[in-house]
Amino acid sequence: MCPAWVLFLLLVLTDIIAAPLGCHAILIMSSVSAYDDFGLTASGAITSQGTVAAGRDIPFNSVVVVPRWGAGIVQDRGSDITNGHVDLWMSTYEQTVEWGRKEMPVIVLLP
């Protein structure tokens, strides 16, 4: 786990970069899991690499940066996805099992 000062510095730098683009960065502690359902998302997009499902506390089209995974765009919701929960789309069931469920800090760039 990163020291708190590293996460704070990352958030500050991200917000400095995001502000001129009209975005605002927040850092949340999130339960991060994975899913592999193919098809249409709640926003009407087709699931693909970078698709993220999140609770209603994170708006559609927010960019989510997840350690050890990368960045994706919130395009989906789910009946089991509550506030503070992020679900990453992966192309295979094996990948979702390998990822499991992790509690970790996540950077959210709000649209």
pLDDT in tens, 61-110: 999 999 889 899 999 998 889 999 999 999 999 999 999 999 998 989 88
Query: Please, what is the end-to-end C-alpha distance for the chain in angstroms?
Result: 28
Enter the tokens of residue 73: 């765009």
Q: What per-residue confidence (pLDDT) applies to 13?
A: 63
CA neighbours closer than 13 Å in the CB half-sphere of residue 20: 3
Q: Would you mind telling me the total number of residues written for the chain in this entry?
A: 111
Question: Is pLDDT larger for residue 57 or for residue 8?
Answer: 57
Q: Quickly list DSSP for 25-72.
A: EEEEEEEEEEE---SB-TTSPBP-TTEEEE-TTS-TT-EEEETTTEEE
Nearest to 94 by CA among 50, 34, 31, 52: 34
Report how far Cα 16 is from the mean position of its chain's Cα atoms.
20
C-alpha R_g of the chain: 14
Q: What per-residue confidence (pLDDT) applies to 24?
A: 76
Query: What percentage of the chain exceeds 90 in pLDDT?
Result: 60
Q: What per-residue confidence (pLDDT) applies to 48?
A: 94
